[in-house]
Amino acid sequence: MQQMGVGLETETIVLGIGLAALAIAVVLLIRNRLRKWRGPFWTQAVPLLIAVYALGTWLFMYSGIGSWYLGFSGAYLPVYEGYEAHRREQYHKAVRLFSKAIDGGELNDMQLRNALSGRAESYAALGEVDAALADLDEATDGAEEPFIYQALAVEILIDAEIFLKAQERIVAAATAYPEAAARGLELQHVLKILSRLDEDGHKASGDDLAAALATIGYRGDQPGIFADQVYVRLARRAVERGDLGEALEHLESVIRIANQLPFHFDRRYAPLWPYPPFQERFALDRLVDRTETSYLRMIMSNPGYAGLLKGPIIALDARGRTSEAIKLARTVYDNRSKYYDTGEAGDDYYDASDDWRYSEDLWLANRLVIMLLNSGRTDEARVLMDELLETSIADRPMLVNQAINFAQAVLDEGDFETALKYAGLVEDGYASAYGELWVVSIEACAYEQIGQTSRAHSLVDGMEARREENYRAFLQALFCLNRLDRAAELIMEMLDDSDYRGTILKSLIKYRDPNHSGAFAKILRQRRAEVRARPEVRGKFLEYGRIIEVPFESRIVASY
């Protein structure tokens, strides 16, 4: 929230130089006066120039010009010092300095709001949340952009793990500032609040939050990153109440195929299955069309964002027009700087150096690699992989996902040595626990296939205790090592767990086979089919879902 452009060190240095220059000038002038100005010209001119510089510096610093240029006045100096103290984690001192500036009564409107938001952050760091919220409410009152102060209040409450109050703040902000909230609320904050409210037994409050966000057409803080979970939640609650019409209205806002698909096979949504409007508006063979249309609307609303073209790219691939999808993805990736030259439409978001845009580059590259591999164009795919991974993951931690994705892709192809190479790029500490288990799974699969069986089994045995961190990775490792009995047990465990049921139901659906499939991927798919056909697994599956045929590939669903 700091809005000051010059740090405390700047004015200290400038004033210090001015003071030293003035002192030198005074000494030289006295010395020359005593000598009655005899001597070389420079002994007379230099002291005068220094004096002029010193006097000009002080006048500049304390005149309207200096205040305008450096963004402070004498009354504003404590605010600078307060932010500096906060940066140094001297929070009590920061509060005193901010309070001095606020109580002085000489700050203009924007300066006062800066001081209040600064003091709020320092109060929050001290655990004085109520005082922080009071300051932010005062800063909000009459502000040109009031929402930013309430967004900071939400962040402070989340950090303090006061989720009910955070929910109340978001609902109030959505009501008071719907346009700003629809775009400005950070999606990660919203989803964290919803998750914790559910965990703490406050599902009704979570539903109220989701309803408030739906009312303002919430889509999150970044173009291309959608709030599907909000609308899926509302649709699910509507089905539970028996209001199928409302459920469909919420489903209209769900963009990703992966999030629409469970409504067709998860028994929690069984009341929808015979409902004619659901069959008409959400037919499986029309989900790609719906998704593509949604993405195109987003592109028109946010021109210039290359990542928004992922919808059309995936839709082309889903229809079997993979060569066209590759051409579009390659064109966007090779000319991505042009797609980011967005003028006013993009200036409100992020500049070209931001990690968000870099992540969009990575998505395009990753999708392009997958399509090239699935088209049998392995050499092209690996050239692109190597180009991306020339940058160290230590320098660009976001490359962790790419390294894991590439390792999995070449594992599917049956190139086990290369899979180990890419998995080995993920250094300790850079991947999440979820990502780490994918790395272990890939390594276990590869070691098993190259004959290092004991090493592979040791890795999988170690995954057992951590399986809840990434069930899918553990399940893949079991299939790789042909431990089908344990795989069947794990699938049934996941089906009984409501947190993982949707994931495993989706993975067991019968999808269209891809146009090209790697040799090892075919082996794993066959083993999965064998386990799915077991009577005990089939019975458990039918307890929670139904078997349907899906007219697109599982990798399409996973990519949305």
Instruction: Of 69-73, 469-473, 491-495, give the lowest mean pLDDT range.
Output: 69-73
**Dihedral sign from CA coordinates of 505, 508, 510, 513:** positive
Query: 364 with 332: CB under 8 angstroms?
Result: yes
Query: 399 with 421: CB under 8 angstroms?
Result: no
DSSP string, 70-121: HT--GGGHHHHHHHHHHHTT-HHHHHHHHHHHHHH----HHHHHHHHHHHHH
In the predicted structure, residue 53 carries a pLDDT above the cut 90: no
Q: Is 550 helix (H, G, I), strand (E, B) or coil?
A: strand
Looking at this protein, which amino acid is placed at residue 209?
Answer: L
Looking at this protein, which amino acid is placed at residue 117?
Answer: S
Give the C-alpha separation, 205 to 85, whole Å: 38
User: Tens digits of per-residue pLDDT, 256-308?
Assistant: 888 899 999 999 999 999 999 999 999 998 888 887 777 777 767 666 565 66
Q: How confident is the model at residue 90 (pLDDT cuts 50, 70, 90)?
A: very high
Output the pLDDT for position 443.
97
Domains in the chain: boundaries:
8-70, 302-343+353-388, 391-560
User: Tens digits of per-residue pLDDT, 432-476?
Assistant: 899 999 999 999 999 999 999 999 999 999 999 999 899 999 999
Give the C-alpha separation, 116 to 149, whole Å: 10
Instruction: Of 158-167, 229-238, 350-359, give the lowest mean pLDDT range.
Output: 350-359
User: Tens digits of per-residue pLDDT, 188-233?
Assistant: 889 899 989 988 999 899 999 999 998 998 877 666 666 888 899 8
For every residue of 21-74, which 3-state class applies, written as one string? Answer: HHHHHHHHHHHHHHCCCCCCCHHHHHHHHHHHHHHHHHHHHHCHHHHHHHCCCH
- Scored b (16 or more CB within 10 A) or e, 536-549 reads ebeebbeebbeeee
Query: 409 with 381: CB under 8 angstroms?
Result: yes
pTM: 0.69
User: Tens digits of per-residue pLDDT, 350-371?
Assistant: 343 444 455 566 777 878 888 8
Give the C-alpha separation, 360 to 368, whole Å: 12
For every residue of 144-161, which 3-state class applies, written as one string? Answer: CCCHHHHHHHHHHHHHCC
For residue 231, give Cα distances in angstroms to 174, 184, 395. Answer: 16, 18, 37
